């Protein structure tokens, strides 16, 4: 992930879906798991299986996760919520452990 980028942190479903739609990203999880989430971009990630947005968002909320992303880039990460979501840009994706 490039340094100098502004990172945003959200739990809002509409923000996540809009970011994904603008990059043709699909909701996915690691094959054989129920809760290892990712947004899949492209077809080269064979260990990830696409799932419905309904299933993806249900796990996202149940596990109290947050979505950290670059506004203009393609980098993103799923992390634990910390209560600072949707307040201001500048979240670092390396500050929380990923699920």
Q: Which residues does 27 contact at the CB level (< 8 Å), separation at least 6?
A: 20, 37, 39, 40, 50, 51, 52, 53, 55, 56, 57
Q: Which residues on neighbouring strands pair with residue 39, listed in sequence order?
A: 27
| 53/17 Cα distance (integer angstroms) | 8
Q: What is the pTM of this model?
A: 0.80
Q: What is the pLDDT of residue 1?
A: 44
Residue ranges per domain, the chain? 7-80
Q: What is the DSSP letter of 73?
A: S
Q: What is the pLDDT of residue 50?
A: 92
What is the H or E stretch that residue 60 is in? helix 53-62
List the chain pLDDT tens, one digit each, 99 residues: 445 678 899 999 999 999 999 999 999 998 888 889 999 988 767 788 999 999 999 999 999 999 999 988 999 999 999 988 887 565 555 544 433
């Amino acid at each position: 992930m490039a340094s100098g980028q502004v990172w945003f942190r959200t739990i809002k479903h509409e923000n996540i879906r809009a970011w994904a739609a603008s990059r043709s990203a699909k909701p996915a999880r690691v094959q054989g798991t129920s809760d290892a989430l990712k947004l899949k971009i492209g077809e080269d990630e064979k260990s990830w299986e696409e799932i419905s947005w309904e299933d993806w968002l249900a796990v996202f909320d149940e596990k109290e996760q947050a979505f950290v992303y670059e506004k203009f880039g393609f980098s993103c990460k799923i992390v634990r919520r910390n209560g600072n979501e949707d307040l201001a840009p500048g979240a670092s994706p390396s500050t929380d452990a990923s699920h």
